Structure 1
Amino acid sequence: MNTLFLIPSILLLLLLTPFSVSFSPTDNFLLSCGSHNNVSLFNRVFTGDSTNPSSNFLSSGDSVSLAYQKPPQNLPTLYHTARVFSRGGSYRFNMKKNGTHFVRFHFSPFKAQSFDLKSANFSVFVNGASVLSNFQPPNDVLLKEFILNIESNILEILFRPVADSGFAFVNALEVFTAPVDFIIDFGARAVGPSGVEEYRNLSSMVLETVHRINVGGLKITPFNDTLWRTWIPDEDYLVFKGAAKPAVSTHIPNYQKGGATREIAPENVYMTAQQMNRENSSLASRFNITWNFPVSPGGVPHLVRLHFCDIVSPALNLLYFDVYINGYIAYKDLDLSALTIHTLASPVYVDFVTNSDDSGFVQVSVGPSELSSSIRMNAILNGAEIMEMLNDVRTKVVHRRKNLWVLVGSVVGGIAVFFLVVTAFLLGTKCRNKKPKQRTLESVGWTPLSMFGGSSLSRSSEPGSHGLLGLKIPFAEIKSATNNFDRNLIIGSGGFGMVYKGVFRDNTKVAVKRGMPGSRQGLPEFQTEITVLSKIRHRHLVSLVGFCEENSEMILVYEYVEKGPLKKHLYGSSRQTPLSWKQRLEICIGAARGLHYLHTGFAQGIIHRDIKSTNILLDEDYVAKVADFGLSRSGPCIDETHVSTNVKGSFGYLDPEYYRRQQLTDKSDVYSFGVVLFEVLCGRPAVDPQLAREQVNLAEWALEWLKKGMLDKIVDPHLVGQIQQESLKKFCETAEKCLSEYGVDRPAMGDVLWNLEHALQLQESGQQREPHANSSASEAASLTSTVIPGNPSTNTGAERDYDNFSSDVSTSQVFSQLMNNEGR
């Protein structure tokens, strides 16, 4: 792979990027061992451990300080001295803060007095945990880094020679506090032959850094890293260099709350990447980029932290790819837009846990997803860190107790089987005498759900009486409904986690959204959905069946909506029989009713904040149901005009006034719904970067043709010859009013609903209906009964093949934000 042409760009990038502002740890001990003076390295001052004997950190053992008499000119001063322990000795540090810490050892062997440091052989312990065993230093400078959890007020680092005649040494020590949440207990993905599982209690592991890689970029020194780390290029680890093509961005990444921080990885890591080299004609249409990282062989557990930042896409929701670890699927259909707060080029990272193979490698691959379009097919990686897990108790406990369990099992096995048989007989007799009764929840305008009496799914059927206790579902019931979260039942995935189709004991079909524990952006949405959906129940709103929060799980259970999102019925590869104009009107009316209920059904009302065609679902009868309330907010109080809040929503649907002023009202939902109306009419997405510049944004494009009075230019070709002119005119006028630049000029959802019902009546009867208060008499008089003539050639965007960028998954789908991988 020829990267010479990129070197000037990368060097310019590094020059333009300011030096990192140093992280300020609570505990920060930097020692120059064996030195009487303070020494500087990378703008950090290391205190000589012999500077002030009364306050030094040496606590025990026989030790001497050595000085390199004739050091090379290019050898940093920090490595001109060393502390040698002939019989073992230790350093002790008084810690101010418990938690995750970095511990680094600097080794640079030299000859002095009667010691040749290259012949040293020793072990090192940190608070009793072995971090180096039978260690023999190399001929050059070596830094050994460990990340571990400190739970005491004293940190002791013990150096112990292997033999009586041996000795230990160290040139410098670093002990400092890691940033908050640098290692998170939950959320890592354990990858292996059995699939992907959650790995917990990660922060209790002792981690040794093996590789720290700046993928696609040059070497990064501690000058440009807030945690003073070194990142090396990836070229030596690429299996087939021709499969990768470097990518470089000159824009500072969009660090955001909930994603990666500068402490997780510096800016320069996220500003470079390797992407698929599709220009290589020797490769197949689909291929992976693969790296082999040498590690300790024989099934040793490793933490693999992968860094991502979409610097290759022109817009959100265009990049989908798969991640493989050691040949096993580790993250399928990864959508970086779904993991970020709907901002392009926003850094994220994902932790994986895997075992090395017998050959002594950890292999990382990225390749195109099945959701990737032929035009946008790509995969990227920005950075990688490989850390050996020195004390993974899972493997050790199994081996230590294996013989014990065999012995215990042989002794008590017969007794246990006997009691199990007796218990099963008694339970079977009891169950035959008892049949479950079914009862149905019914209320005016509410979707009925059939449930077992006395089940954890049972709830009161009266509005406002849904206590959260009645919504809780035991984890065991959810596992049973999803066949222990069978991967064959997955119907979608996204930033929150996986979505499974489930069936409860009473044959009620449900959609089970299982969040990944530890997900930084998942908890607020989880809580919001429960809060909102536990208070509402409406025919045109997706119903919450229940939730589970046992064992740090975040699980939401919804009614199953058979035909999935409106989007897949309008365009894309999943579109089957096109919807008729009457069906589309009825769907829009249903969604408008659901939104109108949200806005007016409570004292303050509820603002959805993420209305789009993927969040409007269709049941088996094509009845529309509004879904995904994770971003919802209560409306303003009676004496207020708006809610001040951070901007959230989806590109193409976002209210421009809300974006500018960060003042949220129910008219923001009205604007988004106006975009949906044009999606329904035109049969194309809200944003399509593949079109000409003036056609990319659906709202702007449609309004332009509307102003020209040429409505037939934008209609979905499948609707040609179906629409009454009066119905089309009323529909387009309604959409146009929804898209008014200022919220005060937009109609309320009640007015939108009325106008859509009017459009349906005009379509069915072809006769004039008494105008609404917002409609003028002259407008009503102008309505006629002609049908739009066919003119397919003028539909510039509607006949395009949307398979090239559709992100719909092919299976039956339930709710949008996870099953379509469409991030916010």
Structure 2
Amino acid sequence: MLFKSSSSEGKICSSDLASPEFGLILFLVLGFSICEQGMNSELQTKEYKWLFWVLLMLTFACLTKKSKAADSYLIDCGSSTNTTVGSRVFVADKYHSKLLSTPQEIFANTSSKSILNSPLYQTARIFTGKSTYTLSISQTGRHFIRLYFFPFVYETYNMSTAIFTVLAQEFALLSGFTPQNSPIMKEYSVNVTSNTLVITITPSSYSFAFLNALEVVSVPNSLIIDDANLVNNAGSYGGLTQEALELVARVNMGGPLVNYENDTLWRTWVPDDSFLLNKNSAVNVSNIAAVNYGSGLATTYSAPASVYGTAKEMNSADDPALNFNVTWEFDVDPGYQYLVRFHYCDIVSNASNELYFDVYINSWIASKDLDLSTLTNNVLATAVFVDVVTSSITASNLRVSIGPSDVNSAYPNAILNGLEIMKINNSVGSLDGAVPVAPGTSSKSKSGVIIGATVGGVCAVVLAGILCFFCGRRRKRLSSQGHSKTWTPLSLNGGTSYMSGSKFSIAGTASTGANLEYRIPVSAVQEATSNFDESLVIGIGGFGKVYKGVLNDGTKVAVKRGNPRSQQGLSEFHTEIEMLSQFRHRHLVSLIGYCDEKNEMILVYEYMENGTLKNHLYGLGLPSLSWKQRLEICIGAARGLHYLHTGYAKAVIHRDVKSANILLDENLMAKVADFGLSKTGPEIDQTHVSTAVKGSFGYLDPEYFRRQQLTEKSDVYSFGVVLFEVLCARPVIDPTLPREMVNLAEWAMKWQKRGQIEQIMDPNLAGKIKPESLRKFGETAEKCLADFGVDRPSMGDVLWNLEYALQLQEAVLLDDPDENSSNLIGQLSPQLNNFRQDDLDVSSMQFESGNVDDLSGASMNKVFSQLMKSEGR
């Protein structure tokens, strides 16, 4: 079904009585009554004239009722006086001071001639710290949030350099946002579920934020219907009413600009010509007077008659031999799904010809053999709209096309009247990057989550089918190569075991060292986690929740349960299985199995008793790690990453290296985890992989972010941030600190370059690190954070340097822990003291490629002891 009508069909509500149509009818009916009765006496004439003007004023009030929403906040930020825009008044900022919590009151203004015709952009409020607007909501439901930006220079604030994040309710609207150098309005559509809407504006480190104007208005809930079609007739997408949307484009096809004064919800519809790829492929048609708003279909809230009454029509010139598409192209952000709303009104057909056409989004079918008459009960010129949701977009543009259908071979034609493209929030509630909502902000209700999980079931079935298809292809490929798609766990009784515990079994059939199929029944997972008991949750990430579980043989496991509505989750699910089914290393977390039954995406790993490295550094109050323990953990993680980069046919780039993805077993041995974002590296004849930027804020390689070119050195940069995190025992991003300290990497690099890194290290380590060990560690971290990847060391080099730092620490401590470290360093062999950094270059060492795992698993203390002898390297 292409369209679902509103549940209010056939009913008259208060919003209908306030509509322009109702006011116009009222005026015409009463005016006709006046004319019909005549004006026979002077007294009657005066009375009727008086009544006429009263009715005229009432009708005008009805026509302008559109601005009287249940909730309407129009704030001219930074202004000391009210500002009138059209027939609406944006209230001066000073009158809304009770709504705003901000550390400083900074009002800015400009007299720039470039925006004299846009009064809202002439003033701004500047935010130097986290600030919140708390707005009382009288009518829950769908609201427009419009943010107005225009950067100008005010005193010491150059707004074009501002970087900040904006949150609304549980959604991230903007993240790391820097406005353009021209006026821009960002429009969002959010379902407000409580009686308070909190909008939080947070500047990035070393920066500030600003806002020229803020608009929050309630709109009819029927504006966004819950279900939409999925592309390629893949079913329906449910739960749209719970999603946050960001406007990408709102276009009037075949017609002129429709500004906010001529739209019931103060929207602007731009002409389509700038998006049309072939200007000669279509012609403009117009018949506004013919537009009919049918009951239960589109209303004036959907789009005004000036949109439905104009259209782009295929320029077929009555030639049945023509066969082409009319295509428009729009810029979008990759990695998101998009709601595309097609507005139709058949103002071109007549009784002698029928209109059938196809509609495409990129290479997907949006509507096949579309016959508008089936949506309008065969009434021509009736306004309708069709909602279609895309799959996750991988490119930076989106194309919409219309073209002739095979059904109507005699006269090829196609039309489109209007188009809206809206970005849908991702699985972590963000419309701008993978930035989850900060702790402490409101979250979606449990009922919303349950509803979302339920309506996503259909999508999950389709996605699971796709996964099975890929798994089947891989199974056939492996079979043809003489391999079986079964997973053979390493021996659990000997020194080669990479998993904790003595053995495990599924459904009680496995024994030690047995070959087990990779897939695990969902019943076994439910039993292991007491049916996903919330009390067993040990972590929550972008993919989903992580539960502690125990298999029926007593083996402890960590169960990661994916969000069934996340298309990104499917990609991570597939990647994790593909990666970990090929790797065996003591410093990589082992995958025990997966489950894809009943719309589930579940990954089962070995359980790491001591959790994440992050939790041992700060936040949970766990006992402080010693310097030796920290070095050994860093060395273990470096071994795991070094294996990823060198131990396979092609390098594997982790892409999400951070302290939260370095897990510790019962002996505090480090293992790298979470390979959902991992990607194989470049081919031999290539230097990088071009790909969309993914990773975690604070750890992300700036060169990768700028150029979208991924190499192993991106992991090296992230690992350098982890090294400083280990040394300083603080979060990589902490907005509660003074501005210069917010970003750990920037802050630590300043002290490292001064040669005073000990000034900012964890106080628990004071007096416990030998200077030479600290110096080598700091130098290693500094090199990892080089601006350009070519200047960073390989993970092999990092590993050697960390082993060297540990050897320096241990060599000193073996002599006399209480002795002055500088004196003890001097007692080392002259060969070690004179050892040059170049001698530690791992590239100069000769290893067999097949022994990388063996090398990374061995202690390097003996290697360094050889270096201290004259006959050493």
How high is the TM-score relative to the length of structure 2? 0.45
- If the length of structure 1 is used for normalisation, what is the TM-score? 0.48
Question: Which gives a bigger RCO, structure 1 or 2 (Cα 8 Å, sep 6+)?
Answer: 1
More strand by share: 1
